Amino acid sequence: MLGSRTTEFARGLRAVALAWLPGWRGRSFALARAVGAPHSGDLQPPACPESRGRQFSLSAAAVVDSAPRPLQPYLRLMRLDKPIGTWLLYLPCTWSIGLAAEPGCFPDCYMLSLFGTGAILMRGAGCTINDMWDQDYDKKVTRTANRPIAAGDISTFQSFVFLGGQLTLALGVLLCLNYYSIVLGASSLLLVITYPLMKRITYWPQLALGLTFNWGALLGWSAIKGSCDPSVCLPLYFSGVMWTLIYDTIYAHQDKRDDVLIGLKSTALRFGENTKQWLSGFSVAMLGALSLVGVNSGQTAPYYTALGAVGAHLVHQIYTLDIHRPEDCWNKFISNRTLGLILFLGIVLGNLCKEKKTDKTKKSIENTIEN
Q: How confident is the model at residue 6 (pLDDT cuts 50, 70, 90)?
A: very low
Lowest-confidence pick of 73-87, 168-182, 284-298: 73-87
CB neighbours (10 Å) of residue 334? 20
Top pLDDT among 57 and 208 is at 208
CATH of the domain at 288: 1.10.357.140
Residue 57 or 294, more confident: 294
- Is 196 a domain residue? yes
Residues 6+ apart with CB under 8 A from 178: 222, 223, 226
Q: Is the pTM of this model over 0.85?
A: no
Lowest-confidence segment of 47-51, 101-105, 125-129, 241-245 by average pLDDT = 47-51
Indicate whether 69 pLDDT > 80.
yes
What's the domain count of the chain? 1
Is residue 91 a part of any domain in this protein?
Answer: yes
| Cα 90 to Cα 110, 123, 174, 264, 332, distances in angstroms | 14, 9, 15, 27, 19
CB 234 within 8 A of CB 110: no
* Cβ contacts of 206 within 8 Å, gap of 6 or more: 37, 38, 244, 245, 248, 249, 252, 266, 267
Would residue 9 count as lying in a domain? no
Sign of CA dihedral 122, 266, 283, 336: positive
- Residue 42's contacts (CB-CB under 8 Å, 6 or more residues apart) are 30, 31, 32, 33, 79, 82, 143, 144, 147
Tell me if 79 is assigned to some domain: yes
The residue segments making up the domain with residue 296 are 69-356
Taken in order 247, 251, 253, 258, the sign of the CA dihedral is negative
Contact 188, 211 (CB under 8 A): no
Mean per-residue pLDDT, 233-238 = 98
Is 318 domain-assigned?
Answer: yes
Question: Per the domain annotation, does 189 fall within a domain?
Answer: yes
Please say if the pLDDT value at position 294 is more than 70: yes
Mean pLDDT, range 313-329, rounded to an integer: 96
* Least confidently predicted of 146-150, 277-281, 315-319: 146-150
Q: Which residues contact 26 (CB under 8 A, 6 or more apart)?
A: 57, 58, 59, 62
Judge whether 52 lies within some domain: no
Residue 283 domain flag: yes
User: What ranges in the chain are assigned the alpha helix state H?
Assistant: 2-19, 33-36, 60-65, 72-77, 84-100, 109-138, 156-174, 179-186, 189-194, 198-201, 205-213, 216-225, 230-252, 256-262, 267-271, 275-296, 301-319, 326-334, 336-370
Say if residue 1's pLDDT is above 90: no
Q: What is the mean pLDDT of the chain?
A: 84
pLDDT at 21 over 50: no
Say what the pLDDT of residue 136 is: 80
SS3 of residue 229 by DSSP: coil
Coil, strand or helix at 336? helix
As a whole number, mean pLDDT of residues 15-41 equals 39
The whole-number pLDDT of residue 64 equals: 85
- Whether the per-residue pLDDT at 16 is higher than 60: the answer is no
The pLDDT score that the predictor gives to residue 356 is 57
pLDDT of 57 higher than 80: no
